[in-house]
Amino acid sequence: MNIINLNLGDRSYPIHIASGLLDQISSILSEKNRGQKWIIISQYRLMELFGFDLMGRLKSSGFTTDFITVPIGEAAKSINEFSRIISQMIEMNCDRSTSILALGGGVVGDVAGFAASTFMRGVDYYQIPTTLLAMVDSAIGGKTGINIAEGKNLVGAIYQPKAVFVDPTLLKSLPKEEVISGLGEIIKYGAIKDKEFFNEISNSLENIESFPFEKIIYRACEIKADIVTLDEREGSIRRILNFGHTIGHALEAHFGYGKLRHGEAVSYGMICAGWISNQLGHLSDNDYQRLKKTIEKLPLPMLNNFDQNKILPFVKNDKKTVSGKLNFVILDTLGSAITTKDVSDELILNSLKVIQ
Ligand SMILES: NC(=O)c1ccc[n+]([C@@H]2O[C@H](COP(=O)([O-])OP(=O)(O)OC[C@H]3O[C@@H](n4cnc5c(N)ncnc54)[C@H](O)[C@@H]3O)[C@@H](O)[C@H]2O)c1
Ligand SMILES: [Zn+2]
Residue 258 has a pLDDT of 74
**Do 181 and 264 meet the contact criterion of CB atoms below 8 Å apart?**
yes
Distances (CA, A) of 19 to 23, 55, 83, 88: 10, 19, 35, 33
pLDDT at residue 68 above 90? yes
The 10 Å CB-count burial string (b at 16+, else e) for 211-232 is bebbebbbbbbbbbbebbbeeb
The pLDDT value given to residue 100 = 99
- In one-letter notation, the amino acid at residue 13 is Y
Number of Cβ within a 10 Å radius of residue 48: 11
Q: How far apart are CA 166 and CA 233, in angstroms?
A: 23
> Minimal CA–CA distance to 239: which of 171, 183, 322, 173?
322
Q: Tell me what pLDDT residue 195 has.
A: 98
Does 322 have pLDDT greater than 70?
A: no
Checking if the pLDDT of 354 tops 70, the result is: yes
pLDDT above 90 (res 1): no
Does pLDDT of 275 surpass 70? yes
- 137 C-alpha to ligand 1 centroid (Å): 10
Q: Which of 234, 292, 297, 350 is catalytic?
A: 234
Domain ranges of the chain: 2-173, 176-353
Fill in the amino acid letter for 247: I
308 CB under 6 A from ligand 1?
Answer: no
Closest CA to 294 of 208, 221, 232, 227: 208
Instruction: Report the C-alpha gap between 284 and 277 in whole angstroms.
Output: 8
Q: How far is the CA of 140 from the centre of ligand 1 (A)?
A: 13
Q: What is the mean pLDDT of residues 58-72?
A: 98
Picking from 241, 204, 235, 200, the residue whose alpha carbon sits closest to that of residue 221 is 241
Q: Which atom of ligand 1 is nearest to the CA of 50?
A: 31
Give the pLDDT band of residue 321 (cuts 50, 70, 90): low
What's residue 320's pLDDT?
57
Q: What is the mean pLDDT of residues 20-49?
A: 98
- In CATH terms, 176-353 corresponds, of 3.50.50.60, 3.30.56.10, 1.20.1090.10, 3.40.1190.20, to 1.20.1090.10
CATH match of 2-173 with 1.20.810.10: no
- Give the whole-angstrom CA distance, residue 336 versus residue 356: 26
127 lines ligand 1 (CB under 6 A): no
Residue 87 is given by DSSP the state H
